[in-house]
Structure 1
């Protein structure tokens, strides 16, 4: 752990890193706030949990749909404009939602405003994952930068709901929504004005037309989904997220079945705490094996972590097992980021990360929907957690099998992408 502290200290001392990392963490807090926020705000305004669920689903679905397009615009030299415009637009839409809910609106308007707020979700995470590693002075610092971002994601999901809960309890849900609007705007604008962001997204040269009206090969833009390796990483990320989605519905249901519903939040927080500790450990390691093999090993470790939850005999033992299972989450995420960077064509890195985000959003939504529909009859029973864990473990098993089966393909596609990037410079 001492090595990790030394590496983080060196990374934070690198010019421009804090100017990117701090606004990024701030601007992403509303992502962790969003689910609880929409449930509380929409329920308070409509008195319907059904309406709250539809609003939350619309917000997540449109985020998944529009994120790649926003990432593509950023890669084309418009990152600053995208961050500022989406940050301000999302803030305005959250304010509009609060105002609309005070005047007894119809369900279509509520869902539309929530969905539009998701459609303009600022690509803060994707931009950060492109810019931060470029500031790192050496490969070890790059690994630390990816681990830092993975830890930031976990902090977002720990701090976000906490902020919403405290503000809603002290003031009201509307105040929490207005705070989220202010945080979104401040974080997006602060990140957009960071010098490293402006310099990282130089406007590309226009393509030179040939006599036949086609573009030269040097001006042709390759999308990030052109390699099988990228598809494999996105599929694995989606399967992981689906497994988390299943358990994040099953764990509260299990706690409620045992008569301790308030412990659900603690259990999920313990899971995230394990991930943060694992990320800190990963930052201090020096690995000789390449990322594609690390990915396969970590996914197999995730498989063991999910499967171990079947050994839980009560909430205390479940908490211990969740902490241990969480130790490999951030390292796996950091390796995924490294693979996405290596697999993405030059000039399409931000779009690649937004596709990764889309895979996670859709996977988590699918897992949550699976738990809430197919598994709903068993969730509040004695075997609910067991059945859900088996399903989640099966999803991770498929992901682990893909990383093992395609580990050589990942290495080959990474090498091809890196050679292409060098030739394009």
Structure 2
């Protein structure tokens, strides 16, 4: 056999190659900076409320309203981006969000609880949808599917760092200066990160992909069996995370080690980053649906040791395992969502995905809070949410693959020229 006939092996993808691609480091760094308020604002609101003379319960209410209003409005902003472009939605939202964060500590105490509640709802509703926007930009910035695979894994894994660094940073600011200063710095970071993204050529020039063929209600409708089942399954994943956060507080109280309430979620997030980095560097066999189901099964298995009610050190080590598979589950879910969503509706579809996880997380937090005094039940809930997610995915697997796309009239593939490139 001649040398020319030998099969060539594709070069291995490295994160240096991904980050060295035009605009990737800028878009990823800007998005992570712009999303720091997601993890900083809830903590800053509690600290500001207590420093202003209100109760911790009122601070918790403000934090919950922020998270709820931010999640519920995601699909609306996604739809607007699909219609008018990303910069036209991100920039006004970021400016208004920063202004409200600065106004809150100034006008909140004098206006009473009602004004504070209204301002916090406004802050949540104006959070820029940078996460959904970035996922829609990857096909434009990285036409090579292998580079996109690595970028999505890196992007998904790095999000965990936000929830490690953000709360620590805002607590340090509040301690060294004041909660009002912490809110102001949060506003600056959110606006600065958003400006980095919206001023980048890929974001300014991005337009939704045109539909393949004539538009019909059946093809352009966002709701499909595959997406519905996927989003329902992801609520179970979010439920597990919300339950884990409350369980970590329960562990801290039971063992009289306050740091556990932060160390356990941080370990889970660190595991997510490591898992995402490993996943993105390899080319995996099998369909994306099969990968999603296997990763979800591993995510479930990782929570099972909690049923033995481990001690602090064992608990910290245990949560790293489900964390490692979390980024894989989310990365696969984004790929399937992009394949099943109609052309021109990707931002909105990604926003619904984010909402699904957030809604499940809120439900997990609420239920775990009510059952926190029951140690075994509290430890079971993360596995219960994961088992629900796996059950839904197994039941719906035929709707999640290419045949599910075909039943809708098309199968999304990256096509040269479908997006405007810088």
Please name the residue that 1:191 is paired with.
197
Shift of the 346–220 alpha-carbon distance from structure 1 to 2, 3 Å rule, reads same
Matched, 1:286 2:288: no
Please name the residue that 1:398 is paired with.
388
Cα deviation, 1:335-394, whole Å, max 9, x if unaligned, reads 111111111111000001111111122111111111122x1443xxxxx2x211212211
TM-score by length of 2: 0.90
Match of 1:35 among 28, 42, 57: 42
Please name the residue that 1:15 is paired with.
22
Please name the residue that 2:344 is paired with.
347
The within-5 A match list for 1:212-223 is 217-218=214-215
The within-5 A match list for 1:52-131 is 52-101=59-108, 103-131=109-137
CA distance, structure 2, for counterparts of residue 24 and residue 340 of structure 1: 20
CA distance, structure 2, for counterparts of residue 47 and residue 197 of structure 1: 41
CA distance, structure 1, for counterparts of residue 298 and residue 245 of structure 2: 20
Cα deviation, 1:234-261, whole Å, max 9, x if unaligned, reads 1111111111111201211221111111
Please name the residue that 1:240 is paired with.
237
Q: Does the CA contact (< 8 Å) of 2:209 and 2:344 recur in 1?
A: no
**Shift in Å, 1:268:** 1.5
**Shift in Å, 1:43:** 2.1
Which secondary structure does the structure 1 equivalent of 2:85 belong to? Answer: helix
TM-score by length of 1: 0.89
Matched, 1:323 2:320: yes
Which secondary structure does the structure 1 equivalent of 2:116 belong to? Answer: helix
Q: Does the CA contact (< 8 Å) of 1:312 and 1:321 recur in 2?
A: no
The within-5 A match list for 1:302-381 is 302-373=299-370, 375-378=371-374
In structure 2, list runs of 5 or more residues that go unmatched.
Answer: 1-9
CA distance, structure 2, for counterparts of residue 224 and residue 320 of structure 1: 44
CA distance, structure 2, for counterparts of residue 326 and residue 202 of structure 1: 33
The within-5 A match list for 1:165-204 is 165-201=171-207
Shift of the 35–74 alpha-carbon distance from structure 1 to 2, 3 Å rule, reads same
CA distance, structure 1, for counterparts of residue 143 and residue 411 of structure 2: 22
Matched, 1:228 2:218: no
Matched, 1:413 2:413: no
Q: Does the CA contact (< 8 Å) of 1:222 and 1:348 recur in 2?
A: no
**Shift in Å, 1:152:** 2.4
**Shift in Å, 1:104:** 3.9
**Greater displacement, 128-137 / 333-342:** 128-137
Cα deviation, 1:211-242, whole Å, max 9, x if unaligned, reads xxxxx942769666421111111111111111
Which secondary structure does the structure 1 equivalent of 2:35 belong to? Answer: helix
Match of 2:255 among 258, 262, 268: 258
Q: Does the CA contact (< 8 Å) of 1:24 and 1:191 recur in 2?
A: yes
Q: Does the CA contact (< 8 Å) of 1:23 and 1:188 recur in 2?
A: yes
Q: Does the CA contact (< 8 Å) of 2:85 and 2:204 recur in 1?
A: no
Please name the residue that 1:211 is paired with.
none
Which secondary structure does the structure 1 equivalent of 2:52 belong to? Answer: helix
Cα deviation, 1:20-66, whole Å, max 9, x if unaligned, reads 11111110111121221221122222421121122112111211221
